[in-house]
Amino acid sequence: MKEYDYIIAGAGLFGATFAHQARKHGKKCLVIDRRSHTGGNTFCRNVDGINVHEYGAHIFHTNDKGIWDFVNSFVEFNRYTNSPVANYEGKLYNLPFNMNTFYQLWSVKTPAEAEQKIKEQVASVHISKPANLEEQALMLVGPDIYEKLIKGYTEKQWGRKATELPAFIIKRLPVRFTFDNNYFNDRYQGIPHGGYNLLTAGLLEGIEVKLNTDFLADKDYFSNLGNKVVYTGALDEYFGHRFGALQYRSLRFEHEQLDIANYQGNAVVNYTEASIPFTRIIEHKHFEFGTQPHTIITREYPAEWEKGMEPYYPVNDDQNMERVKHYQQLEKKKKNVLFGGRLAEYKYYDMHQVIAAALVTARKELAAE
């Protein structure tokens, strides 16, 4: 008889949620993570009373009341509403694109005026079959919005010219003819009071956790400790890059503490011009309506992923998706390994989506026991 029912490689939201559900069913789990902390990219570092989102801004949002009630059963969430601001050449614009944005761009005051202006802008570019991302964006919103609020930011994010990116990256651009700065349309939205570490701690309560431990460095040993493995790490890495490495975009963060109470008046300000190397500045205290006499800001820089860096966004082009198919065929042969989460599925997940995926996986797995 093995020591554990499940060895869970990864203490992020997928692994922690699965472990919680398994424990509820009387299963014994060991959660392993190569980092020095749990929570994956949601980890918050408390610095002088401010919860710093160590790996970039994380705003929880969902339309699923079941998911909302689930996370609130561990920690109460506040009423934070994501309302980013864009800075282009020193001028500020509200996001997402709404009547405030259109007034700032063109001084239009009514939805009819804004709609007419966008129609004129789109008509001016004479594009019907976009060949790349730039043409797709121009066809959707015209040159003013594209040049000031999309082009530079997107090129920094992807590390490529917009003319070299495929059109499908931007399927649509949400345009609102209301004075509404709420970035998300979801019914539920907020940040945990006290930071995301409380959510992870609640999920992992009563579960054995081993940090600073690389599952893949001794895969056979750890796998043999349990009846099954739940693997949430990089899919290609599990199989020794047999079909080549999958590509990711990465991020680099510069944190800075300032002896002022309020640096920018908003949690997130995007810098949309190409000449500024970072994509946004995050001021963490505003996520929890902090009143501290000091503040902490983070400049976020996109980066090409290299070995040893944290992978953030999958590059879903034809070459990578073809490799994923090959890895998924190998995955099917691993009857005692469950693959789940952003890296193991090579899929971009929002937080509510990864929790939902973990709950579905746990439900299927534990029902079959």
Active-site positions? 172, 176, 249, 280, 300, 348, 350
CB neighbourhood size of 201 (10 A):
15
Closest Cα partner for 251 from 161, 157, 344? 157
Cβ distance 152 to 161 under 8 Å? no
Which residues, other chains included, contact 235 with Cβ-Cβ below 8 Å and sequence gap of 6+?
246, 324, 327, 328, 331, 339, 343, 344, 345, 346
Locate all alpha helices (DSSP H) within the chain, ordered by sequence.
Answer: 13-24, 65-72, 99-106, 111-125, 133-141, 143-145, 151-158, 197-203, 219-223, 235-238, 318-332, 351-367
Which residues, other chains included, contact 143 with Cβ-Cβ below 8 Å and sequence gap of 6+?
121, 124, 125
Which residues, other chains included, contact 119 with Cβ-Cβ below 8 Å and sequence gap of 6+?
none
Q: What single-letter amino acid sits at 222?
A: F
What is the distance in angstroms between the CA of the first residue and the CA of the last residue of the chain? Answer: 16
Tell me the two tokens of residue 147.
């040049």
